[in-house]
Amino acid sequence: MSIVSPIDTATSAGTGAQPYFAPRRLGHANLFVSDINRSMEFYKEVVGLEEVYFRPPVMAGFLSNGNTHHDVGLVDFHGPAGWRKESGLNHLGIELETEVDLLHGYERALAEDFKFERTADHDIAHSVYCRDPDGNQIEIYADVTKNWRTQRSGTIMAPTIKWKPGTTPPLSQPQYVADPEIRRVEAAIWHPRKVTHVVMVVADYEATIEHYRRVVGFRVLYGGRKDAFTVLGGTCGERSLSLFRAKPGRAAGLHHVGFVLRDEQDLEASKQRMRNAGLAIELDIDHPARRAVHLRDPDGIMLQFYVDRDPSVESLRGVEEGLALYLS
């Protein structure tokens, strides 16, 4: 395993080709679930997120603890927004610095004949959507207001507004909150500070790395096309996405969503609350790089709650691939 720079992963896009975007980080994970009400309760009472707003017309709910307008989105796949009729990943939400960055990246992509699936005005953010080579949906967005709590709360009945990038002057200043108030749901079992990353297993490994590097603009922090797995991140320096090769016994798809906790004492207290509530822990990892607990939501989607002991990507050097899948 070797650390590589983004240029080392260039393929058909051309060595050193400029990415369309320069993302900050993973902003949210949007998941398909089979029962929106059951899942909303689980993510509030067990995961420990607050409900920000709910959209009955599309059977979708959005949760956060203040880090952003939503760390997790849940969409009932039985509803009108269920483009895939099974639980799992709906899309990854990738946050940009400004709306100007969104517009400029969008225009560069169009100039090179890259096709986006759609664009959207979510009132609090403007977004463009595409898919990676495995068919996973990606939302690339920029916040357009810092007052998301007043603009998106409670029950939202209004439909998503159609939006054409460039029809209004783009905002040149960041609209995300740099130092947000993180709320703690004391009654919940877990107390995450925010969602940080997603781990994916992909069938077209090399092309998927190139897509997230060349189109989305993530930097390769660890690994590369010739390695067993690759870790990518944005300008914040966080690990936002880890990609592993699909193989027999390891099907392509979402592996887990990661939530960072305050400290190990908090993790151990939450573990005890899990036992007291009779809830199952999938995996308990005690490693020099990361202390982590994995569990599954009502649809079987795996969630990781963790505290880094060594946050550097160098901590992954020499870790066996099967362990790295859960340690990432």
Annotated domain spans of the chain: 8-15+188-327, 25-150
Instruction: State the CATH architecture for 8-15+188-327.
Output: Roll (3.10)
Burial environment of residue 243 by CB neighbours within 10 A (0 to 12, 13 to 18, 19 or more): buried
CA 13/CA 142 separation, integer angstroms: 25
Output b/e per residue, 56-95; b: 16+ Cβ within 10 A.
Answer: eebbbbbbbbbbbbbbbbbbbbeeebbeeeebebbbbbbb
Output b/e per residue, 211-235; b: 16+ Cβ within 10 A.
Answer: bbbbbbbbbbbbbbbebbbbbbbbe
**pLDDT value of residue 162:** 81
Kindly list the distances between the CA atom of residue 296 and the CA atoms of 93, 201, 256, 328, in Å, as whole numbers in the listed order. 21, 17, 9, 17
Q: Identify whether the C-beta of residue 205 lies closer than 8 Å to the C-beta of residue 250.
A: no
Residue 87 contacts by C-beta under 8 Å, 6 or more apart in sequence?
A: 31, 32, 33, 34, 77, 299, 300, 301
CA 208/CA 195 separation, integer angstroms: 22
* Chain centroid, CA 77 distance in Å: 19
DSSP-derived letter for residue 161 is B
Q: Where are the alpha helices (DSSP H) in the chain?
A: 36-45, 99-111, 148-151, 205-211, 264-276, 321-327
**pLDDT value of residue 15:** 39
Of 166, 68, 82, nearest to 124 by C-alpha is 68
**pLDDT value of residue 161:** 83
**pLDDT value of residue 10:** 35
Fold of 25-150: 2,3-Dihydroxybiphenyl 1,2-Dioxygenase; domain 1 (3.10.180)
Of 80, 53, 255, nearest to 154 by C-alpha is 53
Predicted TM-score (pTM) of the model is 0.94
Q: Which helix (H) or strand (E) holds 88?
A: strand 88-95
Q: What is the full per-residue pLDDT of the chain (328 aa) written as tens digits?
A: 333 333 333 333 333 479 999 999 999 999 999 999 999 999 999 999 999 999 999 999 999 999 999 999 999 999 999 999 999 999 999 999 999 999 999 999 999 999 999 999 999 999 999 999 999 999 999 999 999 998 999 999 988 888 899 998 999 999 999 999 999 999 999 999 999 999 999 999 999 999 999 999 999 999 999 999 999 999 999 999 999 999 999 999 999 999 999 999 999 999 999 999 999 999 999 999 999 999 999 999 999 999 999 999 999 999 999 999 999 9
Q: Identify whether the C-beta of residue 89 lies closer than 8 Å to the C-beta of residue 48.
A: no
Tell which phi-psi region holds residue 172, choosing left (phi > 0), alpha (psi between -120 and 50) or beta.
Answer: alpha
Q: What angle do CA 75, 81, 85 make, to 5 degrees?
A: 75
**pLDDT value of residue 194:** 97
**pLDDT value of residue 17:** 79
Q: Pairing relation of β-strands 72-76 and 302-308?
A: unpaired
